[in-house]
Amino acid sequence: MEPDLQAGMREKEMLVVLLTIIVLGSLYFYNPDGWLIDDDEGSFLYQAWRISEGERPYADFFSSRDPLFLYSTGMLVKLMGRSILAIRAVPVLLSLVSSVIVYLLARRFLSAEGAWLAILAFLLHPQVFFYGRRLYPEPFMLLFIVLGLYLFQRGWDERRYWLLAGAGLSFGIATIYKLLGGLSLGGCLLWTIIEARQQRTGWRSWIVRTAAVLVPFGLLVGSSFLGFMYWEPAFYPSVIGVNLAQGRGLSGGHVLVKGMAFLLGYVLLYLPLMVFALPAAWASRRGSERISLIAWQLPTTLAFFLLHRDLFLRHLLYLAPSLAILFALALEPLRRWSGRSFLLVAVIGAVLLPWTLENTMQAMRTENDTAHIVELIRNQTDAEARIISDYQELNFHAARRSTYLGAEISQVVVEGQERITGAQLIGEMEKDRVQMVILDVSPETAHHFVNLTDYEQFYSYIQENLALLGRFPRAGQVLEIYIK
């Protein structure tokens, strides 16, 4: 192909990608502050705000989050203030950048049309869309996972050790943002072992290239976690200990069944995608094509058969780029099949159209109850008041501090290690200047304080020592607000 013609085709390719990102990006950016109720994001927002005010996680307030995410978001709040519009714009931008890297990665295996379909499936994936519009560690982790996959594939294929080292560092950053980020590197290592066994890679070359990835990864992750364990003694029990302790009483058989139910539930939830992605992964796993690297990301889900802790669907978000590429791969024969364009469009529409409708409905959700409750909090308390709440986003939006343990009231820390009990919270209330307590008492939505092992005693203490200001609805929740 002539250079001028090839350059012209590349320009058209990038123009299509840019237009796709603009169109889908407008959906991502639509109404970002319409729905403010998200308990996990709420604790992240609150903790980021406290860091922006000069406090230290694990020492000044409890957190089960990884340090890189906490300090990154703390810096965001420091720079942008408590503007939810500005803060949520960051994960949107991260998701859009990730989609470009997904395209570049897919383009190494697929045609331009196939890579475009991969970027479309990635951005429309409901999990990518949901977490890409909120302050979660997932968008940060996902960016460095897809970057790591791209650098790894190029570095391994072209024997460029600096690219492999970059991949190791990228996977390391993803792991520091969220521990599950390391599973993608595990998938890459599985693929390299298959490559070596099939004698497509000599063992000496395999050792050198693998070391080029693992050494930077190990040094970065090891030094980071060891450094935090030394710098903040409460880091290990707060982050590693809490997560390891959850479900520690379960038997091995129970953990296995739980993992199988978890993965089966994910497959069934995204069945139209899996109908195409899973066969494509199976067909390419032993192939000589480089795309088998993507297929070997899927067996990393076997790690969930070993985890005692509660499993949430967002734990599988790291697979979204691989599933999007495998979906596009499955449709490549159909795309090349002349006279079957209608069937191709029908298949794409059957998978992506329901996702588009779901994402659009989610983007259009609005609620005003949070703003009303935040105004009430600010009117009833002074700026120095401490508030213990079922939902820390109320503390964030009202700019009211909580106690040490009240910084993260969540299912994991309440149930995992009995880290938080009502007796501990009562002790903090008596020690600190707690002026207000906010409890969710709805049977349908309450899942934090109500799971305290001594909730009845805690609830009785609140009723006896504070005055009930009233019951306030909040988009399905029923909040009892008590004031000193």
Give one word for 399, left, alpha or beta, with left for phi > 0 and alpha for psi -120 to 50. Answer: left
What DSSP element (H or E) covers 434? strand 434-440
N residues, the chain: 484
| Euclidean distance between CA atoms 382 and 373, whole angstroms | 15
| Phi, psi of 216, rounded to the nearest 5 degrees | -60, -40
Show Cβ contacts of residue 419 under 8 Å, excluding neighbours closer than 6 positions: 62, 242, 405, 413
Q: What is the pLDDT of residues 283-325, one digit of tens each?
A: 886 655 678 899 999 999 999 998 877 888 999 999 999 999 9
CA–chain centroid gap for 139, Å, is: 6
| Euclidean distance between CA atoms 405 and 388, whole angstroms | 9
Q: What is the mean pLDDT of residues 180-188?
A: 93
Query: Among 176, 175, 154, which Cα is nearest to 165's?
Result: 154
Q: What is the pLDDT of residues 362-396, one digit of tens each?
A: 999 999 999 999 999 999 999 999 999 999 999 99
**Model pTM score:** 0.93
Q: Look at residue 158 in the predicted model and tell me its pLDDT.
A: 86
Domain ranges of the chain: 3-30+83-363, 369-483
| Euclidean distance between CA atoms 355 and 127, whole angstroms | 10
| Phi, psi of 433, rounded to the nearest 5 degrees | -90, 70
| Euclidean distance between CA atoms 66 and 140, whole angstroms | 12
pLDDT band at 11 (very low <50, low <70, confident <90, very high): confident
Pairing of strands 434-440, 386-389: parallel
Q: Count of CB atoms within 10 A of residue 302's CB?
A: 12
